[in-house]
Structure 1
């Protein structure tokens, strides 16, 4: 076994771990975690995001490698623009929820049933968000494969799979840590928790706008 065969799996895991902690990824998952920050719920968001991201990269990446093609630049930019729009939408969705809950709290109208309803959302949302992130990130990842997984299509597939494992582990850990932060804020009072969620919403929206602008501008 040569050094490349030893280093490639480690490189894939480390690269996947680092890739998960990019601003757009963390912003998206944080919007979900901020609503349900308990450890198991936060862990679920992180794992589902990682599963969606990993599945998209593995499937699309293997197809691109097998066919020896690259995504057209216009399509790649369109996917990046879509991710930006998604982040903007997530930020606005979270901000609306924060303002809605604050209005109910000030009016003294929020019952236990209403609070539960306001916190309810589709748990699979983070899976689809991860899938979208994976689709937009496949092209640059596959373009970099030649330096680390050159050889057979099986080697490339193995690299992409391990990359996904690293991504999922990192996002799961991040989600739990973010959940702990939101839980601590909630324990100190609803005002602090609401402020932290509002900041998360505005951050997600701002990153989304930045992604859209970068995708729309010529290279």
Structure 2
């Protein structure tokens, strides 16, 4: 493995960490992580998101690269639209939990599965960009596989760090718990607003509805 390709992999790792902190990713995961009661559960929210995100990128990316084709723009925009719809739905659910003063989705198994699904959807939406980036960066199918894997590791690390920081207030003790409904409601409201804006951007500015 050449020194040049190792530098490409390192760049992919850093890019993956940066990619994890994009607004739509952070907002979506926040609606779940803000409802957890322990630092471990909050951190795992980010890990499972990263696993789902990486699995989709790897599956779709390798298929498309193997076929030496590209994902049509309309398909790519439609997948992006799903992200906006998902953000609105997550926001509504978070608002509901905040209003009823319940962290209902703090059950570990359910939370992890939900994070995995969110990562899966984000991976679908980002697959077109990932394929284009990979094809312009690497020279072989094997290198493409390694690059996407390393990029995925970067997203897992990046989201793990974010959700760990987000979960820190919950280790302070029972005094913080009374703020959970407010945090849930705030995360929900932000998710709905950003999701609506995201749908508008994809639908009208990028031309999916036109």
TM-score, length-normalised on structure 1? 0.86
Deviation (angstroms), 1:196 = 2.4
Q: Give the secondary-structure state (helix, strand or coil) at the position aligned to 2:70.
A: coil
Which position in structure 2 is the counterpart of 1:80?
80
Q: Which has the larger radius of gyration?
A: 1
In structure 1, distance between residues paired with 2:176 and 2:187: 18
Q: Tell me if 1:141 matches 2:130.
A: yes
Contact 1:88–1:209 (8 Å) recurs in 2 = yes
Indicate conservation of the 8 Å contact 1:71/1:139, yes or no: yes
Provide the rounded CA distance (Å) in 2 between the counterparts of 1:186 and 1:204: 26
Superposition RMSD in Å: 2.0
Instruction: Give how far 1:47 is off.
Output: 0.8
2:4 aligned with 1:4, yes or no?
yes
Q: Is 1:186–1:193's contact at 8 Å kept on the other side of the alignment?
A: no
Q: 1:1-219 residue pairs with structure 2 within 5 A?
A: 2-101=2-101, 119-120=106-107, 122-123=110-111, 124-149=113-138, 151-184=139-172, 187-188=175-176, 190=178, 192-219=179-206
Within 2, Cα distance between the matches of 1:10 and 1:56? 21
Are the counterparts in 1 of residues 97 and 103 from structure 2 also a CA contact under 8 Å?
A: no
Structure 1 residues 139 and 96: alpha-carbon distance in aligned structure 2, compared to 1, 3 A threshold:
same
**What displacement does 1:176 show?**
1.0
Secondary structure at 1:198 match in 2: helix
Q: How far, CA to CA, are the matches of 1:94 and 1:213 in structure 2?
A: 22
Q: Residues 178 and 117 (structure 1 numbering): CA distance in 2 closer, same or farther, change over 3 Å?
A: closer
Look up the SS of the partner of 2:187 in the other structure.
Answer: helix
Please tell me whether the aligned partners of residues 84 and 211 of structure 1 are also in contact (alpha carbons under 8 angstroms): yes
User: Unaligned 5+ residue runs, structure 1?
Assistant: 102-114
Unaligned 5+ segments in structure 2 are: none
SS at match of 2:36: coil
2:98–2:184 contact (8 Å) kept in structure 1: yes
Asked if 2 retains the 8 angstrom alpha-carbon contact of 1:46 and 1:175, the reply is yes
Find the counterpart in structure 2 of residue 104 from structure 1: none
Q: TM-score, normalised by structure 2?
A: 0.89
Deviation at 1:148, TM superposition (A): 2.2
SS in 1 for 2:100: helix
Deviation at residue 6 of structure 1 after TM alignment: 2.4
